[in-house]
Structure 1
Amino acid sequence: MANLSTALGIGALVLLLSVVAVRLSVRLGLPSLLLYLGIGLLIGEGGFGIRFDNAELTQSLGIAALVLILAEGGLTTRWSNVKRSLGLGITLSTVAVLVSIAVTGEALHLLLGLDWRTALLWGAVLSSTDAAAVFSVLRGVGVSKRLVGALELESGLNDAPVFIAVVLLVAADPVGWTTPLLVVYELGAGAAVGAIVGWLGAMGLRRAALPATGLYPVATVAMCVLAYAAGDILHASGLLATYVTGLVLGNSRLPHRSDTLSFAEGLGWLAQIGLFVLLGLFASPQRLLSALVPALVAGAVLLLLARPLSVFLSVTPFRVKWREQVFLSWSGLRGAVPIVLALIPLTNGVPGAQHLVDVVFVLVVVLTLVQGGTLPLIARWLGLVKGSTDAQEIEVDSAPLDTLGAELIQVKVQTGSKLHGVYLSELRLPTGASISLIVRDDAGFTPTPTTRLQEEDQLLVVATETARDATERRIRAVDRAGRFAKWKGESGTD
């Protein structure tokens, strides 16, 4: 019991220290993952002396954390923001990955004298952008939704093909003519599993009347984890299935959606903290120094050659402007994913795998400092930062009223919303829906048809099950286009 208490106490202190580190990282302008890695190094064998060298356990926990991070990324990604970037995101996560592996492998073969298989393995490990790094850094840069959507899709989708590439290069069997078919199957089946699990989960959660609000977020995240397991059992890409399931669920107007997203965000932070601290704990400071030179060489190849070339070849059909191409090239953020992928050859006994893990660890730190720390400056230098005049998206949450056959919809009118100044009579909600309460300045009152909505108002709308979707669409339409939304062609469907 004493050992358990000590372990729980240390874990709680590390978690609290990591939470405080988020605030510190914002003040310093550094990605928080560097501080988490630093905490892991501090309590590891080079610091407080905690020795942890179980590569297989680290890999398993790393993949589990990656599943939660991808689930959170899918749940919090708005389809309306990424649908215009779907083709670009898919191309970046497939074609760009292949180009990056080939270019990086060729360059490292020539510069570091690695054999071809090892050089391509290094290229595959280093070719995946990190979902946690992208989701946490990119959303605060202020560039267009098209660019953000493309990079979010890339980081959420490219883990799957890179994982497959690493496994194929680690395997003893030579790559044959059936390999491309196998890759297509794994990716296609993974996407299909994710879509099916997401659709079934959304339908079930909308119809279920669970006895506690907190059960909806738990069930939603469980669906994402179930998708990973189902994909893996079917020899498909479980990582892709996880992200697609999260994307479907997050855009399906789930009951208690805001609570679900908050829960998923908390789990995502917990997974990131645990993963980066664990990787820092696993690293050996004595070995990292010898990995510095090859890490700098690989980083230069990746940052100055492989990433720009892969982006250029991938986005050419989409006529992306050169400024946006430069930003896409500089935004290929690396994080924990390459380190987790490097553990696969280590656990399979591939010669030189420990050196690869050390090189990737150093490379992630270097590239995070170089890219993550300068990304906002690059965006401003390229003239891609948009003004802050856009209104925030209206907050809409719902909860089923069990046996009443109705739903309670909670709406918050954001600053800049065109709902401001609209009379309730002009809102024209569908039959079966009515606003029962408005909370304004911390005081609630029952509205009348002549009540005018204001910014920061919170509305409670009661709607029948049949009117629920039409009610939300109408509210979103007026939020975007005002009282004449229908005349302006705004339907509120996105």
Structure 2
Amino acid sequence: MVILDSVNLAILLGAVLIMAGILSSLLALRFGAPLLLVFLGLGLVAGEDGLGKLHFNDVRIAYLVGSAALALILFDGGLKTRFQSIRAVLAPSAVLATVGVLLTALLTTPVAKYALDLSWPEAFLVGAVVASTDAAAVFLLVHAQGLRLRPRIGATLEVESGTNDPFAVFLTMVLIEILSLGKSSATHIAWQFAQEAVLGTIIGLVGGRIVVFALNKISLPQGLHAPFVTTAALVIFGVAQIDHASGFLAVYLAGIVIGNRPTRAHNSVLTFLDAATWLAQIVMFVLLGLLASPERLITALLPALAVALALTFIARPIAVFLCLAPFPFQLREKIFISWVGLRGAVAIFLASIPLLLEMPKAQVYFDVAFVVVIVSLLMQGWTLGYAARRLHVALPRTDRGPRRIELDLPGQLEQQLVGYAVRPNSLYLKRGLLPSWSKPTLVIREEKILSASEAEPVQKGDYLYLLAPPQKAGALDRFFVDMPPAMAPDPHLLGDFMLAGDVTLEAVAEAYGINVPADMRSLTLADYFDIYLDRAPRVGATLPLDSIVLVARGLGGNRVNMIGLRLSEEKKPIRVPRRVSAVRRRVLRMWKTVSGT
């Protein structure tokens, strides 16, 4: 009975810890604290040397949970990655994920050697453990601080943080092998790396295709699609690891394959994985926190701080600037990418491997990695939003999307039913705008179900359901969110070819001598983007308008509110001739008349 009581007590305490982690996330989001730091803190407080006095030293369980959690986090990241959005940044991201990790480890090694009194291989191992950025830390903090990163910056960080973990794991394992066995030839290391990369890629791509085929061909009961995909991700990870391939690379690539192909229950899979990865992060960080000891961390604090500062201000920036030198990144973009090299669960997870193998000085590696992660989350995590705004690489998100209901339609994969509550100030209700690829199907009004024709005109408070392609469903949000009040554009953003979103196509046609159909002349530029852009708007999105091209230069309330003009045959914005300046003044006068400013 005593054994049963201890098991029950462990279940109770574990559930209380996880619940505390979930509830603490509300406070962290409110005050801007890095959530991962909160979870680590919970583990520390509940540990044997903390207030909770829980005795936990099972590194094997921590490693098992950490492996599964990281696999799910990477799979979820791949599942949400649109290949079209990352294609342009594959080369710089791949260089950062491989050469960047190696350079960061090498540049951190001298500081680790002299600060911690280690041999060169041991110091190199410390550098390898803390060299990779953490995908969960980066994007969890970006989301928590309400940032919308510019497309190229966001895609680069997304791919780098998703693909540098496999290389960091490989580098760590090679150094552990060297320290354990004494020597390892360069040929053996190169062959091992090629084997892990190639086999991991093959297993990931093939496994992803198999999951897509099974998901679409097998008639699973309702609600089992998401658990099936989640379990399949862990199977792909396990198969790759057993075959001495990179399981982390395989599961990330499998996620990209599945996420970029039409599948059944796509949105329910995403929702389920969001919850699963969130829970996995909480459990992983709490367990890693339980493994740490506050007394040991205090002892290792000063040398670990030296490693953390060298990593943040020397190693990471030099590696980023060298790796991105061949690519057309601006100085401020390189600075931001350097600063967003957050360390998270990956570093502590890698540091637990020497503990699992009972290597000499394993506790030193773990304590140093723990302090580095805490410093990174405190210093970089809390200043992420400030750095993004000061460096002008992101726009703050001030809008919240409407609640979207998505229902899969059995028997086909091309359309799904998307539902919204019709808000009083929504774009759809005010102007009746919808993209051509969506079709209103039914309306629920006062608990009555009406067809789209029976419900005309749609009223505020109705629930409207539309048919839309699954990959475009998110683009409908901007039609059902309350429109912000019209605001004058920021004068610092205006250029010779910049117009506000509420300028009409008629005004643009008169000013620039272009042809616009009569039935479109009353549309504003923002309306034109809403109707004809087949995806959610973003800075840099373009639409042709006769002989010119409209370029989205600013967003507000999920609508384009600042538009740049360029000639369609030009690849870059051109300088406006002096004779056009009078025309530009005329357009601005029109805009002021329309907006009443």
CA deviations 1:391-413 (Å, max 9, x no partner) are: 969968452425xx687612246
Query: Alpha-carbon deviation of 1:232?
Result: 1.3
Give 1 or 2 for the bigger CA radius of gyration.
Answer: 2
Higher deviation after alignment, 72-81 or 154-163: 72-81
| Match 1:27 to one of 30, 38, 58 | 30
Number of the residue aligned with 2:509: none
Q: Please name the residue that 2:452 is paired with.
A: 447
Q: Percent of aligned positions with the same letter in both sequences?
A: 33
Output the amino acid matched with 1:445: L
SS in 1 for 2:367: helix
Distance 1:323 1:484, change over 3 A: closer
SS of equivalent to 2:443? strand
- Among candidates 99, 103, 123, match of residue 95 of structure 1: 99
Distance, in Å, in 1 between the alignment partners of 2:279 and 2:474 is 34
Q: 1:428 to 1:108 in 2, by over 3 A?
A: closer
Query: 2:352 matched to 1:347?
Result: no
Of residues 300, 303, 308, the one that matches 2:312 is 303
CA distance in 2, matches of 1:85, 1:393: 31
**Paired residues of 1:220 and 1:249 also in contact (CA < 8 A):** no
Q: CA deviation at 1:48?
A: 2.2
Query: Structure 2 vs 1, CA of residues 400 and 206 (structure 1 numbering), >3 Å: closer, same or farther?
Result: farther
Cα contact 1:209–1:400 (8 A) shared by 2: no
Give the letter aligned to residue 154 of structure 1.
E
Amino acid at match of 2:219: A
Count residues in correspondence: 475
Match of 1:411 among 407, 418, 437: 418
TM-score (norm 2): 0.72
Contact 1:75 / 1:247 at 8 angstroms: preserved in 2? yes
Distance in 2 separating the partners of 1:63 and 1:302: 25
Aligned amino acid, residue 48 of structure 2: E
Does structure 1 retain, via aligned residues, the 8 Å contact 2:101–2:131?
yes
Q: 1:458 Cα shift?
A: 3.8
Question: Is the counterpart of residue 63 in structure 1 residue 67 in structure 2?
Answer: yes
> Which has a greater percent of helix?
1
Q: Deviations 1:164-207 (Å, cap 9, x if unpaired)?
A: 11111001242322312321221122122111111221222123
Which residue pairs with 2:368 in the alignment? 359
Match of 1:36 in 2: 39
1:210 Cα shift? Answer: 1.8
The aligned counterpart of 2:330 is 321
User: Contact 2:111 / 2:306 at 8 angstroms: preserved in 1?
Assistant: no
The 1:475/1:65 distance shift into structure 2, 3 A limit, reads: closer
Partner of 2:55: 51
* 8 Å Cα contact 2:153-2:393 kept in structure 1: no
1:193 is aligned to 203
Unaligned runs of 5+ residues in structure 1 are 462-467
In structure 2, relative to structure 1, the CA distance for the partners of 1:387 and 1:302 (3 Å cut) is closer
Seen in structure 2, the aligned counterparts of structure 1 residues 399 and 98 have a Cα distance that, compared at 3 Å, is: same
2:392 aligned residue: 383
Q: Compared with structure 1, are the counterparts of its residues 107 and 39 closer, same or farther at alpha carbon in structure 2 (3 Å cutoff)? A: closer
The more displaced of 370-379 and 129-138 is 129-138
Spell out the pairing of 1:156-171 with structure 2 (5 A cutoff).
Answer: 156-171=162-177
The Cα of 1:36 is off from its aligned counterpart by 1.1
Q: Pick from 421, 438, 442 the counterpart of residue 437 of structure 1.
A: 442
SS in 2 for 1:8: helix
Is the CA contact (8 Å cut-off) linking 1:397 and 1:411 kept in structure 2?
yes
Structure 1 residue 38: Cα displacement: 1.4
Q: Indicate whether 1:146 and 2:149 are aligned.
A: no
Tell me whether 383-392 or 188-197 shows the greater mean CA deviation: 383-392
d(CA) in 2 for partners of 1:391 and 1:193?
Answer: 39
Give SS of 1:459's match: strand
Distance in 1, matches of 2:81 and 2:345, equals 20
* 1:211 is the counterpart of 2:217: no
Q: What do the CA deviations read for 1:82-136 (whole angstroms, capped 9, x no partner)?
A: 3332222222111111111111113333554421101110110010111221121
Contact 2:47 2:290 in 1 (8 A): yes
Contact kept? 2:208, 2:258, Cα under 8 Å:
yes
Equivalent residue, structure 1, for 2:517: none
Q: 1:113 to 1:417 in 2, by over 3 A?
A: farther
CA contact (8 A) 2:237 2:247 kept: yes
Shift in alpha-carbon separation, 1:141–1:473, aligned structure 2, 3 A: closer
- CA-to-partner distance for each residue in 1:275-296, whole Å, 9 max, x for gaps? 1110111111221111101110
Q: What per-residue deviation string (whole Å, max 9, x for no partner) do you get for residues 443-485 of structure 1? A: 6420139968899964243xxxxxx96x977996998955556
What is the Cα deviation at residue 427 of structure 1? Answer: 3.4
Q: Does 1:18 align with 2:21?
A: yes
- Cα distance in 2 between the residues matched to 1:442 and 1:334: 50
Q: Does 1:249 align with 2:258?
A: yes
Q: 1:439 to 1:105 in 2, by over 3 A?
A: farther
Determine the structure 2 residue equivalent to 1:238.
247
Cα pair distance change 1:438/1:56, threshold 3 Å: same
Q: Are the aligned partners of 2:418 and 2:473 in contact in 1 as well (CA < 8 Å)?
A: no
User: Residues 3-49 of structure 1, C-alpha deviation per residue, up to 9 Å, x if partnerless?
Assistant: 33222221221111111100111122111111111111122111222
- Matches of 2:151 and 2:42, distance apart in 1: 34
Relative distance call for 1:81 and 1:353 in structure 2 (3 A) is: same
AA partner of residue 211 (structure 1): P
Structure 2 unaligned blocks of 5 or more: 480-527, 535-541, 546-597
CA distance in structure 2 between the partners assigned to 1:143 and 1:220 by the alignment: 29
Partner of 1:77: 81
**CA-CA distance at 1:247 after TM superposition:** 2.0
Instruction: Tell me, in whole angstroms, the C-alpha distance in 2 between the residues paired with 1:224 and 1:134.
Output: 22
Distance 1:248 1:29 in 2: 34
Determine the structure 2 residue equivalent to 1:464.
none
Q: Distance in 2 between matches of 1:102 and 1:380?
A: 31
Q: CA RMSD in A?
A: 3.3
Query: Could you tell me which residue of structure 2 aligns to residue 7 of structure 1?
Result: 10
- TM-score, length-scaled by structure 1: 0.86
C-alpha displacement of 1:228? 0.4
1:187 and 1:366 map into 2 onto residues whose CA distance is 31
Larger RCO of the pair (alpha carbons < 8 Å, separation 6+): 1
The one-letter code of the counterpart of 1:156 is G
Q: Does 1:129 align with 2:133?
A: yes
Q: Are positions 1:273 and 2:282 aligned together?
A: yes
Q: Which region of structure 1 is more displaced relative to structure 2, 195-204 or 108-117?
A: 108-117
State the alpha-carbon separation in 2 of the partners of residues 258 and 49 from structure 1: 42
- Larger mean CA deviation between 385-394 and 50-59 belongs to 385-394
Q: How far apart are 1:251 and its partner, in Å?
A: 2.6
CA separation of 1:94 and 1:255: change in aligned 2, threshold 3 A: same
How far is 1:314 from its partner?
1.1
Letter in 1 for 2:451: T
- 1:256–1:160 distance in 2 versus 1, CA, 3 Å: same
Which of 285, 294, 299 is the matching residue for 1:290? 299
User: What's the secondary structure of 1:179's corresponding residue?
Assistant: helix
Cα 1:232–1:198, aligned 2, differ >3 Å: closer, same or farther? same
Change (3 A) 1:357 1:111: closer
Q: Which residue of 1 aligns with 2:492?
A: none
For 1:143, the aligned partner's letter is L
Q: Is residue 108 of structure 1 aligned with residue 112 of structure 2? A: yes
CA distance in 2, matches of 1:76, 1:156: 12
Quote the Cα distance in structure 2 between the aligned partners of 1:379 and 1:165: 31
Query: Does the 8 Å CA contact 1:168/1:175 hold for their aligned counterparts?
Result: no
